[in-house]
Amino acid sequence: MKTLVISGATRGIGKAIAERFAKEGINVAFTYNSNEEVAKILEKEWSKKYNIKAKAYKLNILEPQTYKDLFKQIDEDFDRVDFFISNAIISGRAVVGGFGPFMRLKPKGICNIFTATVNAFVVGAQESAKRMQKTGGGVILSLSSTGNLVYTPNYAGHGVSKAAVETMVKYAACELGKFNIRVNAISGGPIDTDALRAFPNYEQIKAEVEKISPLNRMGYPEDLAGMAYFLCSEEASWITGQTFIIDGGTTFGCKE
């Protein structure tokens, strides 16, 4: 049975992706930061409901080097790694100085966002690739956002890190292809999650998205889960080094 490793899967986009893979009969190794109680509930729920093995692991995404120890734990619980999805994000105090107007940005906040987005992807992908080589290949994905394409108030720190991780995806794809490992990114428009609701201008963002999207709504986590599963399937076997935009038409600004 194949195994997915995904960071940050106790809520929002990560949870939707993990459950989609579980529905398809794929084992799920997922991380959490502070929601241990929720993680344990999901372990039991997914294992029983979908007849797969699900196990949660604590991970501080601001310490990406700990991925190495995390994967050693995963090795003890699962016999292979087929898919890795870098999804976890940071919020709260960790992004102070990184989330805000340009003139208020601070190096520490920007560095924290970069660490959680780019460095964590790199280390997690490296550890995954080592294991994928042993089983003939696999798929690596990074979650991104359209905040690096369209101006979003207070989002400069995040937007720049998303642009960086999308470029890192291309480099990883070029170098890992010889091992039959495909690497892609999924760039979501504003998705209605707890993380977005924590933004002080959430209501403004929601109203603006509903206004400019021809579909008249924000995106849902499940809107990204389908693309994640497709990119990990054999139907996407010749797709690598790409970023797929799932934005409800908001990036182009379709509405008149």
Q: Which residues contact residue 60 at a Cβ distance below 8 angstroms, ignoring those fewer than 6 apart? A: 33, 66
CA dist 85 and 140 (Å) reads 6
* Residue 155: active-site member: yes
Q: Is 111:168 a contact under the CB 8 Å cutoff?
A: no
Catalytic residue among 44, 162, 202, 206: 162
Q: How many CB atoms lie within 10 A of CB 38?
A: 14
Polymer length of the chain: 256
* Residue 50: active-site member: no
Q: In what order do the strands lie in the sheet with 181-188?
A: 54-58, 27-32, 3-6, 83-86, 138-145, 181-188, 243-246
Catalytic residue among 155, 170, 178, 206: 155
Burial profile 107-144: b = 16 or more Cβ within 10 angstroms, e = fewer: eebbbbbbbbbbbbbbbbbbbbbebbeeeebbbbbbbb
CA dist 124 and 92 (Å) reads 23
Phi-psi region of 145 (alpha: psi -120 to 50; beta: other; left: phi over 0): beta
Which residues are the active-site residues? 155, 162
